[in-house]
Chain A
């Protein structure tokens, strides 16, 4: 049975929500920064894009190009709430919804189409109207329609802002021959560069490439994936949407500081803060992991280390012992640090993990249960280590690609 899938992509999400909230910002080029004092634009409004400003630009560089740019701090809690509201909107269209990122979703209307939507365009227009009714008139979205996720996402990428585009057998090849790889889900910058080296600029051209050469350059997996993309078939990455993992495989947290850190006490505090968040999330999902990694970097250099343990861990003190005491302190730091990342992987259901017969596990569990119950009632970091006193705590924040989708119940 041929499927009908809608891909909804909210236009310039972070910036548009801020413009919806504040009419003074509408129609103006705005750059979203992570917080007051930050200089990297994590998102820009459509007006800023028209002036050639790109996400990831530095504020001082943008000011030269566009002095009227308005920098506004992001509001991650609002974005997450808006996405949760959007999910409710999408489930009014069809019960088969997959939130792909904070501002994107796939809606499979295959089963309900013939009963609810006389034409496919009706469903797309209904999504757009419901989004405006729920979040506000300034919020616009592109809707792509096709028989698989690759093409529906491609359609929404190339549709005009606020528009609807359908890719079917009549226009599929023409679009595959024209679309650039930046609009193709699953083809990143490096892959695009390798394809360009072979003289391939558009997906359709992959069909004409020598299969042996494709296999030699891209390997057995990617050569097949690229051929699927060339014919507009769903790639492995998007096919995985049908098979979500039972639980998260890893939980990590990273942050870029306000400045370069050279003070060991400050570095220790930041790492402890990130570790506290990671283990809290792991425990809330009733998981435990045994793969620990840590990474720090400055503007040019980076250092990372990892360790696979023989047993599972889930408490702050356990992860801190491995990540900080064993990995970080085992390294002679050679540069000041601005970016910190820590993670716990190889996660399993806690109830399926063998418990040690001896040791302090029971005590740790009891303390964690008591602390978590306070955190659940009054917020994370209400009760915190003395290490985190008298300083601003780094709180959890949602990311655009929604890597912790399962944690947030999306």
Chain B
């Protein structure tokens, strides 16, 4: 099941041809390399747009990252725990 976190992270992302692709992020002092983006979703909360990235990181676990397109802040929202 997914465990809710909603913790701020620092992200290195590649911006190319109008797309943003997160490559790695720093969370709780540890760097996570993103192996695969499995799903992208755009969600609007009022006037604020959020982009969600579901990613598989270097520990082969699945994380849901969110990017506030208004404030440009990144969060790790949830982590999958078997």
Contacts and interface: CB of A to CB of B under 8 A. Distances in A.
A380 B41 contact: no
Chain B at the A interface: SS class: strand
B46 A17 contact: no
A82 interface: yes
A366 interface: no
Given A73-B2, A78-B52, A22 B38 contact: yes
Contact of B54 (A21, A72, A376): A21
A24 B62 contact: yes
A171 to B, nearest CB: 37
B1 interface: yes
Contacts of A17: 39
A375 B46 contact: yes
B38 A78 contact: no
**Residue with the greatest number of chain B CB neighbours at <10 A, chosen from A78, A82, A378, A380:** A78
Given A23-B38, A78-B52, A376 B46 contact: yes
Contacts of A78: 39, 41, 43, 52
B42 interface: yes
A220 interface: no
Interface string A6-27: 0000000000010011111000
Given A377-B47, A378-B48, A20 B38 contact: yes
A120 interface: no
B45 interface: yes
Contact of A81 (B43, B45, B46): B43
B62 A21 contact: yes
A378 B43 contact: no
B64 to A, nearest CB: 8
The winner among B1, B54, B82 for most chain A CB atoms within 10 A is B54
Interface in A28-42: 36
B43 A380 contact: no
A155 B43 CA distance: 33
Give the interface size bracket for B toward A: 10 to 19
B45 to A, nearest CB: 4
B80 interface: yes
A67 interface: no
Q: Is the interface of A mostly helix, strand, loop or mixed?
A: helix
B39 A23 contact: no
Interface in B1-55: 1-2, 36, 38-39, 41-43, 45-48, 52, 54
A122 interface: no
B7 to A, nearest CB: 19
A136 B43 CA distance: 18
B32 to A, nearest CB: 16
Given A22-B62, A23-B56, A24-B82, A135 B39 contact: yes
A15 to B, nearest CB: 13
B47 A20 contact: no
Nearest to B38: A21
Q: Which of A21, A377, A380 has the most CB of B within 10 A?
A: A21
A21 B41 CA distance: 10
Contacts of B2: 72-73
A85 B66 CA distance: 18
Contact of B39 (A20, A71, A377, A382): A20
Contacts of A82: 41
Best-surrounded residue of B41, B48, B52, B80 (most CB of chain A within 10 A): B41
B54 A22 contact: yes
21 contacts: A20-B38, A20-B39, A22-B54, A22-B62, A24-B80, A71-B1, A72-B1, A73-B2, A77-B41, A78-B39, A78-B41, A78-B52, A81-B41, A81-B43, A136-B38, A376-B47, A377-B46, A377-B47, A378-B46, A379-B45, A379-B46
Interface of B: 1-2, 36, 38-39, 41-43, 45-48, 52, 54, 56, 62, 80, 82
**A-B CB proximity, top 9 nearest:** A379-B46, A377-B47, A21-B39, A21-B54, A81-B41, A378-B46, A379-B45, A78-B41, A77-B43
